Amino acid sequence: FLFADKEEIKKPKKQCATVLGYPISIFFIVVNEFCERFSYYGMRAVLVLYFKYFLKWDDDFATTIYHTFVALCYLTPILGAIVADSWLGKFKTIVYLSIVYALGQVVMAVSAIHDITDANRDGTPDNMGFHIALSMVGLLLIALGTGGIKPCVAAFGGDQFADDQEKQRSTFFSIFYLSINAGSLLSTIITPMLRAQECGIHSQQKCYPLAFGVPAALMVVALIVFIIGSGMYNKTAPQGNILVKVCKCIGLLNTVHSKFTGWTGQRRNMTQWLNPAHLVLQKLLIAQVKMVLKVLFLYIPLPMFWALFDQQGSRWTLQATTMDGNFGALVIQPDQMQTVNPILILILVPIMDSVIYPLISKCKLNFTPLKRMTVGMFFAALAFVAAALVQMQIDKTLPTFPSSTEGQVKFLNVVNRTLDVQAGTNEFTLEPYTANNDYLTFDQTFDLNLGPGISYPISLQDGNRSTRVIIQDGDVPRTLFVSIRYYNITTSLCSNWCFSCYVSAHFKIVNDAGVECIYSQELGFGSSYTLLILPNFTFGEYCHQGIKQVLDIEPNTFHMAWQIPQYFLMTAGEVVFSVTGLEFSYSQAPSNMKSVLQAGWLLTVAVGNIIVLIVAEAAKLPDQWAEYILFASLLVLVCIIFAIMAYFYTYTDPAKIEAEFSRNEPEDKKRKSLEMSRKDSLEQSKERRESSDSSSDEDECKQTKI
């Protein structure tokens, strides 16, 4: 039948050279994992800023695409596990999907080269659709690659050890986990620094190609290192995916149950309805599926934790862009704040294992794994409350931005006399070479009056746009060429806005004769300035005296260090929730179905990112702090539900249950043997009767013929 007993023939593992008792092959696997995690987390660290500043998406859409990508990365492991176990084997799956992975990283790096479609060399891509399409193809390939190899690499490393190397295998997994965190930590430090550089062929821009290109190079290195060790690996042939078998089992059991009880019968709980299948399936398999379903049932509330956790790379990074990252001589980029998480992990994991848990044990508190996970979810909710409090303080320092039907206008007086200005219903006075303090908001065309008989209608452009109205005399000033860091920003009267990632920006002003003036401007995080080149501007040592700055938007004054408490709470929740959850899943899983629960665990991460998309799109809250509170409230509600489910959960010992079935196996085989013998004897007697009846019939036929 479908799950009939089979005698499995195990091939002896190939004996490989060892170093300090460890197979040499595992060093190639550890290096491969380090490079792959550097590639993934490095690319992901700058991804949401790439969406916002390069592709020009708003915060909500950038967040949506970011979490869609992360969800895909945690859905594809199921596909990778099926391909590896049922078709290609782990080694070939890792190699082939790593090629797809590296290709995706290269495509992402190419998509970020603005010069590809910048025909007029003004620093802005002329065909943004091409860059968007290339980016989506790259992200799809990366999601398929990183997700596909995720369930294979660690298991492939475990396959390299012999049965008598349990201690070395355990140490390998610790080193393997350390390589993951090391790759994550280094990449989230380095790639934001690479992004902050300026590069380009015709014009200088934020260097996203380098920020994506280095992870792409690391992925190629990971693939090469892994292939080099090919001759040293123990490669097990695919044996069939247990996940597929479990799904078939549940489907078959459902059919059996409907035949035995009918849908109109009394409903049973999740594990009781499996019992009728004893007629057709192995008892051990049924018991194992029951254990798996009990744990998978507990997984139902878990995605809500990941919905909050993965917003560190989206909402929290965008929050950091509105904060002051100046730490004295050290300037922190918004995406570098994500490094706080892996740093705190390396600190908190040993503290929890060596101090906190033993202390709780000495207090004789029954701090079970499920209780730990509940506490971890509560910590994550507190982290979002802290993020909401930080956002409230940030909002107090930010300017008021217009709605989609409004526009903001800044008035600049560039004539050498005082002007009395009336703009709509607003009246104010502008001194020579000054601007009004704040942007004025208008929702329709208005009249600008500068005195008797001097009136101009001002129309808004598309709404939600900041516009500068420059009041000047009829004379047009001389032509000057202005650049910042080799990036041309103006050759006319008034330039467009330009962005600078530097605390101190250096402008080079050149006239037609090629004479230069270097002007330096100190910038604050999130600030906006308008620089006026006055008519009395002259080239020379004191050329800066002919330049005047007008402050448009105040610099961010709320410091990024205030994000550390929310990162601490979230990381504490991760250590208590994630590490404990993996340990709990492993301890409650049957020996041959641990991969099933691993796939289920990764699936909760994917669903969590989908929840972010649903909540963010459905809520449409005007204030970001309100969205943080909404997510925290949802997690507290889910936390209560999970605590109730955990209270009624009964812990099992899969090894003990499997041992009991193993002891009963000889009796079952003996009973089956007796049943077969009895069946054979009955069949033999039946054959003898049929033979006797046949000879009797022949005699009767002969007598009739006579």
Contact 532, 412 (CB under 8 A): yes
Contact 533, 350 (CB under 8 A): no
Contact 506, 484 (CB under 8 A): yes
Query: What are the phi and psi torsion angles at 409 (to 5°)?
Result: -130, 135
Kindly report, residue by residue over 103-134, the tens digit of the pLDDT: 999 999 999 998 898 887 767 788 899 999 99
Kindly report, residue by residue over 191-217, the tens digit of the pLDDT: 998 998 888 887 777 899 999 999 999
Kindly report, residue by residue over 63-79, the tens digit of the pLDDT: 999 999 999 998 888 88
Q: Which token pair is 220?
A: 């190629």
| pLDDT value of position 438 | 76
Contact 548, 531 (CB under 8 A): yes
Which is it for the CA torsion 457, 460, 461, 465, positive or negative? Answer: positive
Do the bridges between strand 426-430 and strand 434-435 make them parallel or antiparallel, or are there none, so unpaired?
unpaired
Query: What are the phi and psi torsion angles at 705 (to 5°)?
Result: -65, -40
User: Which of 7-11, 18-22, 82-86, 573-577 is predicted least confidently?
Assistant: 7-11
Q: Which token pair is 658?
A: 């499997």
Contact 130, 117 (CB under 8 A): yes
How far apart CA 503 and CA 383 sit, in angstroms, is 30
Query: What are the phi and psi torsion angles at 451 (to 5°)?
Result: 150, 180
- pLDDT above 90 (res 393): yes
The arithmetic mean of pLDDT across residues 532-552, rounded, is 81
* DSSP β-bridge partners for residue 446: 458
How far apart CA 243 and CA 428 sit, in angstroms, is 73
Q: Find the angle CA(532)-CA(535)-CA(539) to the nearest 5 degrees.
A: 90
Query: What are the phi and psi torsion angles at 555 (to 5°)?
Result: -65, 155
Structural element, H or E, at residue 392: helix 369-397
Q: How far is CA 316 from the centre of its chain?
A: 13
Contact 558, 397 (CB under 8 A): yes
Contact 397, 557 (CB under 8 A): yes
Kindly report, residue by residue over 456-479, the tens digit of the pLDDT: 788 765 544 567 777 776 655 556
Tell me what percent of the residues of the chain surpass a pLDDT of 90. Answer: 26
55: left (phi over 0), alpha (psi -120 to 50) or beta: alpha
Please give the mean pLDDT across all residues of the chain: 79
The arithmetic mean of pLDDT across residues 630-641, rounded, is 95
| pLDDT value of position 282 | 61
| pLDDT value of position 242 | 63
Residues 6 or more apart whose Cβ sits within 8 Å of residue 46: 191, 192, 195, 208, 211, 212, 335
Side chain identity at 345, as an amino acid letter?
I
Which is higher by pLDDT, 630 or 244? 630
How far apart CA 652 and CA 588 sit, in angstroms, is 6
pTM exceeding the 0.85 threshold for the entire prediction: no
Q: Which token pair is 79?
A: 């596909």
Q: How far is CA 97 from the centre of its chain?
A: 19
Query: What are the phi and psi torsion angles at 522 (to 5°)?
Result: -75, 130
DSSP code of residue 129? H
Do the bridges between strand 481-484 and strand 466-471 make them parallel or antiparallel, or are there none, so unpaired?
unpaired
The arithmetic mean of pLDDT across residues 84-97, rounded, is 86
- pLDDT above 70 (res 17): no
Q: Is 590 helix (H, G, I), strand (E, B) or coil?
A: coil
Contact 376, 571 (CB under 8 A): no
Kindly report, residue by residue over 669-695, the tens digit of the pLDDT: 555 555 555 555 555 555 555 555 545
| pLDDT value of position 270 | 47
* DSSP β-bridge partners for residue 327: 330
Q: Quote the strand ranges of 369-465, DSSP E.
A: 407-413, 419-423, 426-430, 434-435, 440-442, 446-451, 454-458
How far apart CA 485 and CA 30 sit, in angstroms, is 41
Q: How many CA atoms lie within 13 A of 465 on its CB side?
A: 11
User: Which of 176-190, 416-430, 586-600, 614-628 is predicted least confidently?
Assistant: 586-600
- pLDDT above 90 (res 435): no
Q: Which of 450, 411, 418 is nearest to 432 (CA)?
A: 418
Q: Is 389 helix (H, G, I), strand (E, B) or coil?
A: helix
Kindly report, residue by residue over 301-359, the tens digit of the pLDDT: 999 999 999 999 899 999 998 898 887 767 788 888 988 988 898 888 888 888 888 89
Contact 35, 183 (CB under 8 A): yes
Structural element, H or E, at residue 42: helix 25-45
| pLDDT value of position 263 | 44
Q: Which token pair is 520?
A: 């330096």
Q: What DSSP string describes 587-634? A: HHS-TT-HHHHHHHHHHHHHHHHHHHHHHHHHH--SSHHHHHHHHHHH
How far apart CA 581 and CA 588 sit, in angstroms, is 11
Kindly report, residue by residue over 601-615, the tens digit of the pLDDT: 888 999 999 999 888
Kindly report, residue by residue over 218-274, the tens digit of the pLDDT: 999 999 999 998 888 888 777 666 666 666 666 665 655 555 555 444 444 544 545
Q: What DSSP string describes 250-301? A: HHHHHHHHHHHH-TTS----TTGGGGGGGGTS-HHHHHHHHHHHHHHHHTTT
Q: Which token pair is 304?
A: 């809500």
Q: Which of 359, 467, 363, 352 is nearest to 406 (CA)?
A: 467
Side chain identity at 505, as an amino acid letter?
A
Q: Which of 65, 44, 225 is nearest to 136 (CA)?
A: 65
Contact 523, 500 (CB under 8 A): yes
632 confidence band (pLDDT: 50, 70, 90): very high
Query: What are the phi and psi torsion angles at 462 (to 5°)?
Result: 65, -10
How far apart CA 447 and CA 453 sit, in angstroms, is 12
